[in-house]
Structure 1
Amino acid sequence: MTARPVALVTGSGRGIGQAAAVALARRGYDLVLHERTRDDDLQESAALVEAAGGQSAAVQGDVAAIEDHERLLHDALGCFGRLDCLVANAGVSVMVRGDLLQVSAESFDRCIDVNTRGLFFLLQCFTRHLLASQPLADHHRSIVVVSSSNAEAVSINRGEYCVSKAGASMVAKLFATRLAAHGIGVYEVRPGIIKTPMTAPSTEKYDAFFAADGAPVPRWGEAGEVGRCIATLAAGDLPYTVGQVIAVDGGLTLRRF
């Protein structure tokens, strides 16, 4: 069993999940990387984690498959013998952007199954482990839920995603309240418009948005900026906070006049 804290980061093959893994490695964590299926992205993430000073191992599983959560957690525990942190980052967007009146049940269910329902039961499974395990001396135990600015801000052409992320925000609050007395911190990070493979198809749209004063910081956010925020929360550097929501969005969701 490692003497270092260990974090499981779901959806860590690229984008925000990968950046979070690297930032945690820089903070002294070893990493259990995760994707729904193994691919070359995890190899890249593993190399970046190692370069940042951490060890890594990889597990796979579908977050939406709640009947598989126990197996997924068992595999993750087997990598280093312990888990101290979960970064619940895995998520999906809509199948097709379009009119709210044309949203399909398939796309709605997909967003809910991964972003809300799967999240809830993964946190439930992970929490049971934390409460039954011995904490590592002088290390904060934590859960960081990666939601979205769309937990608050309406995006009319992807309503099912907004609904699922609003649900994810409540999941974070619920578990934060349940676990506070046990010294386990639960936090929510709300990324804004972040440059990742998921947002790449909307490059032209968001370039124009920033050029038209869409946000106080007139540029895309970087995955590394979100990753550093996640690592700060995971390590317990915001003491005496419960269910804290941190918007990493360049002021996107601020009300302006």
Structure 2
Amino acid sequence: MPAEKPKVAFITGAGRGIGRGIALVLAEKGFRIVVNDMQASADLDETLALLAARGAEAKAVVGDIAAIDHHQDLIETAWAEFGRIDCLVNNAGVSVATRGDILDVTSQSFDRLITINLRGPFFLTQACARRMVATPTAGFRSIITISSMNAEAASPDRAEYCISKTGLSMMTKLFALRLAGEGIHTYEIRPGVIRTAMTAVAKDKYDRIFADNGAPLSRWGEPEDVGRAVATLASGAFPYSTGEVVHVDGGLSLPTL
């Protein structure tokens, strides 16, 4: 019997930050990797170079997840690179352009966050799930969505971001119910304060929190911390779980008294 080919992961927003960290850890675990970003860039080239340095089979597929009319083409192109997708990682997303008073949130900012962070991943997941359902396999398959601890922790200075991430949390549960019978598992990962360009704007704030032991594991998280959680779930280590939430936040979300 021929050996099973390595699994394939398709990771959105993998040009840098958490997406790149996820890609690198999955590659170390033997996955073949399809990395996505909204456009070709030096960042995306660097991700590919880092993957190649690890001996990984990796391809890049450019496409904007907010452009839902192109989702079918995006999924088909990604699928064609290695002939399958075993794990979709919904990682791409944005933060608010400007943090500020919830009373000052504009409809333009709200629509931008919902379009990119929620509407895009919902319809991309739908397109990928349809392709997976149409191509049954006995292997473990998963859809892993990177949300945020702001799916439960309110930050009034970026209200629209919080709302978009809360929507992703429900999305994961809904797809879990629909896809369980198809052998496709869904999971949500809620990162805490991860060292990326997105969190750099609030570096001083978070440095103070960690210096004051404001979290049980009082340090910055790294993109690879999220990558390790994704790799564990995508490997099929929890075959009797679906629709679950995994916190990667150093215990920051733990209720305390």
Task: Name the TM-score class by shorter chain.
Answer: over 0.9
- C-alpha displacement of 1:214: 2.0
Q: Which residue of 2 aligns with 1:249?
A: 249
Q: Which residue of 2 aligns with 1:168?
A: 168
Q: Which residue of 1 aligns with 2:6?
A: 4
TM-score by length of 2: 0.96
Task: Check the 8 A contact 1:176/1:185 in 2, yes or no.
Answer: yes
CA distance in 2 between counterparts of 1:61 and 1:225 reads: 26
Q: Which residue of 1 aligns with 2:59?
A: 57
What residue identity is the alignment partner of 2:60?
Answer: A
TM-score by length of 1: 0.96
CA distance in 1 between counterparts of 2:180 and 2:136 reads: 16
CA distance in 2 between counterparts of 1:111 and 1:243 reads: 23
User: Aligned with 1:195: secondary structure?
Assistant: coil
Deviations 1:215-235 (A, max 9, x none): 111111111111010111111
Q: Which residue of 1 aligns with 2:106?
A: 104
What residue identity is the alignment partner of 1:186?
Answer: T
- C-alpha displacement of 1:50: 2.3
User: Aligned with 2:47: secondary structure?
Assistant: helix
Q: Percent identity?
A: 52
Moved more, 209-218 or 187-196: 209-218
Moved more, 143-152 or 47-56: 47-56
Q: Which residue of 2 aligns with 1:122?
A: 124
Q: Which residue of 1 aligns with 2:134?
A: 132
1:203 matched to 2:191? no
CA distance in 1 between counterparts of 2:240 and 2:54 reads: 29
User: Aligned with 2:35: secondary structure?
Assistant: strand
CA distance in 2 between counterparts of 1:239 and 1:80 reads: 24
User: Aligned with 2:250: secondary structure?
Assistant: coil
Q: Which residue of 1 aligns with 2:145?
A: 145
Moved more, 207-216 or 28-37: 207-216
CA distance in 2 between counterparts of 1:44 and 1:223 reads: 15
User: Aligned with 1:113: secondary structure?
Assistant: helix
CA distance in 2 between counterparts of 1:157 and 1:209 reads: 17
CA distance in 1 between counterparts of 2:53 and 2:172 reads: 31
- C-alpha displacement of 1:48: 1.9
User: Gapped runs of 5+ residues in structure 1?
Assistant: none
Deviations 1:48-73 (A, max 9, x none): 22233321111111111111101111
Of 34, 37, 44, which aligns to 2:39? 37
User: Aligned with 2:9: secondary structure?
Assistant: strand
Deviations 1:174-202 (A, max 9, x none): 10111112211100000000001111121
Of 69, 79, 95, which aligns to 2:71? 69
Q: Aligned pairs, how many? A: 254
What residue identity is the alignment partner of 1:65?
Answer: A
1:14 matched to 2:1? no
Q: Which residue of 1 aligns with 2:189?
A: 189
User: Gapped runs of 5+ residues in structure 2?
Assistant: none
4+ residue segments displaced more than 4 Å: none
Task: Check the 8 A contact 1:28/1:53 in 2, yes or no.
Answer: no
User: Aligned with 2:186: secondary structure?
Assistant: strand
CA distance in 2 between counterparts of 1:28 and 1:180 reads: 25
When the two chains are superposed, the root-mean-square deviation of aligned CA atoms in Å is: 1.2
What residue identity is the alignment partner of 2:222?
Answer: E
CA distance in 2 between counterparts of 1:104 and 1:249 reads: 29
CA distance in 1 between counterparts of 2:78 and 2:110 reads: 29
CA distance in 1 between counterparts of 2:223 and 2:144 reads: 15
Q: Which residue of 2 aligns with 1:82?
A: 84
CA distance in 2 between counterparts of 1:144 and 1:53 reads: 24
